Amino acid sequence: MKQSNFTTWFKTGSPWVWMNAGAVAIAVIMTLGLLFLIAVRGLSHFWPADLMEAEYTIPGQPTITLIGEVTTREQVPTERLKGAGLPVDPEKSEFMERELLKVGNRDLYGADFRWIVADWLTDERYPEDIIAIERREWGNFYGYLLSVNQDGKVVEGEQARQTLEAAVERAESIYAEIRALETGDIGKINSELERLRLRERGYELDNALTADREAQIEAERAVQNAQYAELEAKLVNLYTAFNRDSLMARAMDGQEKRISLSTVVRVFRPNAMGITDKVGHYFAKLWEFVSDEPREANTEGGVFPAIFGTVMMVLLMSIIVTPFGVLAAVYLREYAKQGVVTRIIRIAVNNLAGVPSIVYGVFGLGFFIYFLGGNIDQLFFPESLPAPTLGTGGLLWASLTLALLTVPVVIVATEEGLTRIPRSLREGSLALGATKAETLWKVILPMSSPAMMTGLILAVARAAGEVAPLMLVGVVKLAPTLPLNGNYPYLHLDQKFMHLGFHIYDVGFQSPNVEAARPLVYATALLLVGVIASLNFAAVAIRNHLREKYKALEN
């Protein structure tokens, strides 16, 4: 009875409908799950987790003390642990719990992380005295503060902590001063000196290096060098002050370590922090992430240069892509006779959209960089050869390549907008005596501007996430300066730049310390997804708004 019930039900085709529904469910879960995963991993990175101290005994070995932050817990078949050479007995229990402990102190132990078997941990405790020190090199330090050496005075005990706070603050402010000096004034002098060198070389190439000119250049150079000497003296003083203080700390295995405060970014006691402190710390870290420069081969610190590079590249790309894409769409919709030519153009547009992005990279490298850039260098920048100016990857070529890549997006969106403008408006304008061009400039383009905006936003979203072509045309893992700065000519189109997407690839896959870098990669990914998702939603919102508007016009 039930069987036949099932058969009839099956025959209605309802199970197939449900299977189709299942596919939607899978797609939705995949997307949302992925976003959730990135969000959780990315956001949790900045939270100051408690530091556990415990005794750890591998059977048959002496007990050691561990201090660290538990990052993962998982169930592992005992068989596998045995395969890894641990003294476990698969007979006793089939599974064991394993924890990944971030023990920090890479300078002492070689690695930041350690896998431990949870069953062998005893006496787990969270003492408030444990300090975590974020350093500019070697990663975090976890341990106990012993003393602070301030200006030759050694302070111990409770007082040490307060002294430390003030000393760290002082070091931090000196650090900011040094950075400002190095990147600002000294950077300026260096760029001036380089320009002088190029000017001299340029005269030399033109056989126009007269004694007058040489003397003038020499004089200018002397001025710069004098300034430099002055700044250098200042810098030396700052560094002496910077390196003055240090602290002594004890690591989990009893080793005592002297840490100069010049390498310390931040000192905190996670176990002693209340929820408000933690939230404060969290946002401070978050701010550091978006506003600061990367440290330690990009595995710590912030991603500001990458954000900046991405934004600059995308802006330049927009300036290039918009007119071109809009023109093509206007031609397709307003000017061309619908026929063979428009069909070919549409095929071309679809092909441009479908060409693998890496092919654009190859084209950009070969055509823009080596062919165009190489020739431009010969013609306009002979003085800096053999060092290429535009004959190497840079902001300009990357933007051009991506403009080519995103042109179809703008075309398709603009065309859609143009289609939606009611015929009556065009005819009205023409009937009033306007020429076609006037109709276009005064009526059609303003009305379709939201559509263009949509197209542009989608193009920007696409460009922001594209990495493969950029790897060939000018993205680097670490750019020394921003492409826009205070040195002449301010906007450096020839400079290589950093990019969020490439940052993810580089830190996640090329970094020597992947485990430590991983949370930061998640955070960067979250940032990128956030930017792209909001751009997309903005585009969708504009599109919907536009549709409503024209619906009203049509009626």
Partner 1 sequence: MTMQSSPKTSRVDFNTPAMQRHRAVRHFKDHLTRWYVAVGGLGVIAAVLLIFLYLLSEVLPLFGGADIEQQERYSTPWLDVADPPLMLAMEEQGEVAIRVSESGQVTFFKTADGKLISEQSLPIPEGVTVSSFSVESPNTRRFAVGLSNGQVIIGKHNYKVTYPNDVRLITPELKFPYGAEPLILDKQGRALEHVAMSGNDSGLTLAANVGRELLVTSISRQENMMTGEVTTSQSELTLNPAQGEVDNILIDPLRQWMYVVNGGQYVDVLSLRARGELNGHYKVVAAKDATVTASNLMLGGISLIIGDSQGGLQQWFMVRGNGKPALTPVRSFDQQAGEAIQLIQPEERRKVFLTTDADGYLGIYNSTAHNNLLVEPLDKQPIRSFAIGPRADHLLVEHDNGELSYWNVDNEHPEISWSSLWGKVWYESYPEPDYVWQSTSATSESEPKLSLAPLTFGTLKAAFYAMILATPIAIAAAVYTAYFMAPGMRRKVKPIIELMEALPTVILGFLAGLWLAPLLEDNLPGIVSLLVLLPVVFISVAYLWSRMPERVRLTVPDGWEAAILIPVTMLLGWACFESSVYIEAWFFGGDMRVYLTRDLGIDFDQRNSLVVGLAMGFAVIPTIFSIAEDAVFSVPRHLTQGSLALGATPWQTMSRVVILTASPGIFSAVMIGMGRAVGETMIVLMATGNTPIMDWNIFEGMRTLSANIAVEMPESEVGSTHYRVLFLAALVLLSFTFLMNTAAELIRQRLRKKYASL
Q: Which of residues 346-365 bind partner 1 (CB under 8 A)?
A: 346-363, 365
From 218-226, 281-289, 292-300, 465-473, give the range in contact with partner 1 by CB under 8 A: 465-473
Is 226 near partner 1 (CB under 8 A)?
no
User: Whole-angstrom Cα distance, residue 94 to residue 375?
Assistant: 69
Question: Under the phi-then-psi rule, with left for phi > 0, alpha for psi from -120 to 50, and beta for the rest, what region is 320?
Answer: alpha
Name which of 330, 329, 328, 325 is nearest 441 in CA terms: 330
Shortest distance, CB of residue 92 to partner 1, whole angstroms? 14
Decide whether 160 or 412 has the Cβ nearer to partner 1: 412
- As given in the structure block, the two tokens for residue 336 are 């061309």
Shortest distance, CB of residue 12 to partner 1, whole angstroms? 6
Burial tier of 163 (Cβ tally within 10 Å: 0-12, 13-18, 19+): buried
Which of the 8 DSSP states describes residue 297?
A: T
Decide whether 307 or 440 has the Cβ nearer to partner 1: 440
Shortest distance, CB of residue 522 to partner 1, whole angstroms? 9
Decide whether 258 or 436 has the Cβ nearer to partner 1: 436
Q: At what angle do helices 304-330 and 445-465 cross, to 10 degrees?
A: 140
Shortest distance, CB of residue 544 to partner 1, whole angstroms? 10
From 173-181, 233-241, 242-250, 342-350, give the range in contact with partner 1 by CB under 8 A: 342-350
Q: Give the other-Cβ count within 10 Å of 285's Cβ.
A: 18
- DSSP letter string, 29-42: HHHHHHHHHHHHHH
Binding footprint of partner 1, residue count (CB under 8 A)? 110
Shortest distance, CB of residue 277 to partner 1, whole angstroms? 31
Angle 111-112-113 from CA coordinates, rounded to 5°: 95
Shortest distance, CB of residue 222 to partner 1, whole angstroms? 30
Site for partner 1 in 296-315 (CB under 8 A): none
Is 327 near partner 1 (CB under 8 A)?
yes
Shortest distance, CB of residue 1 to partner 1, whole angstroms? 13
Q: Which of 139, 466, 494, 519 binds partner 1 (CB under 8 A)?
A: 466
User: Whole-angstrom Cα distance, residue 393 to residue 529?
Assistant: 26
Decide whether 287 or 441 has the Cβ nearer to partner 1: 441
Decide whether 283 or 441 has the Cβ nearer to partner 1: 441
For 246, phi then psi, to 5°, come to -150, 170
Shortest distance, CB of residue 122 to partner 1, whole angstroms? 25
Which amino acid would we find at residue 318?
Answer: S
Q: Report whether 271 contacts 128 (CB < 8 A).
A: yes
From 62-70, 269-277, 420-428, 503-511, give the range in contact with partner 1 by CB under 8 A: 503-511
From 8-16, 200-208, 231-239, 285-293, give the range in contact with partner 1 by CB under 8 A: 8-16
User: Whole-angstrom Cα distance, residue 434 to residue 421?
Assistant: 17
Shortest distance, CB of residue 529 to partner 1, whole angstroms? 6
> Cα dihedral angle (391, 395, 400, 401), rounded to 10 degrees?
80
Which amino acid would we find at residue 92?
Answer: K
Give the residues across from 97 on adjacent strands: 75
- As given in the structure block, the two tokens for residue 548 are 């409503």
- As given in the structure block, the two tokens for residue 7 are 């058969």
From 44-52, 273-281, 307-315, 338-346, give the range in contact with partner 1 by CB under 8 A: 338-346
- As given in the structure block, the two tokens for residue 366 are 């070969």
Maximum alpha-carbon separation in the chain:
110
Is 100 near partner 1 (CB under 8 A)?
no
Shortest distance, CB of residue 415 to partner 1, whole angstroms? 11
Is 243 near partner 1 (CB under 8 A)?
no
Site for partner 1 in 26-85 (CB under 8 A): 26-32, 34-35, 37-38, 74-80, 83
Q: Pattern of binders to partner 1 over 399-438, x per CB under 8 A?
A: -----x--x---x-----------------------xxxx
Which amino acid would we find at residue 415?
Answer: E
Is 468 near partner 1 (CB under 8 A)?
yes
Site for partner 1 in 173-212 (CB under 8 A): none
Q: Which of 367, 430, 485, 547 binds partner 1 (CB under 8 A)?
A: 367
Q: Please list, residue by residue across 431-452, b when 16 or more beta carbons sit within 10 angstroms of its beta carbon and e when fewer do.
A: eeebeeeebbeebbbebbebbb
From 146-154, 176-184, 222-230, 466-474, give the range in contact with partner 1 by CB under 8 A: 466-474
Site for partner 1 in 521-540 (CB under 8 A): 521, 525, 528-529, 532-533, 536-537, 540
Q: Report whether 103 contacts 252 (CB < 8 A).
A: yes
Q: Which of 467, 479, 498, 546 binds partner 1 (CB under 8 A)?
A: 467
User: Whole-angstrom Cα distance, residue 328 to residue 519?
Assistant: 43
Q: Pattern of binders to partner 1 over 102-141, x per CB under 8 A?
A: ----------------------------------------
Q: Report whether 411 contacts 347 (CB < 8 A).
A: no
Decide whether 145 or 314 has the Cβ nearer to partner 1: 314
Shortest distance, CB of residue 532 to partner 1, whole angstroms? 5
Decide whether 32 or 154 has the Cβ nearer to partner 1: 32
**What is the total residue count of the chain?**
555
Name which of 156, 153, 159, 173 is nearest 264 in CA terms: 173
Shortest distance, CB of residue 93 to partner 1, whole angstroms? 11
Place of tokens 């930017």: 531
Pairing of the two strands 141-150 and 153-156: antiparallel
Q: Give the other-Cβ count within 10 Å of 239's Cβ.
A: 13
Is 319 near partner 1 (CB under 8 A)?
no
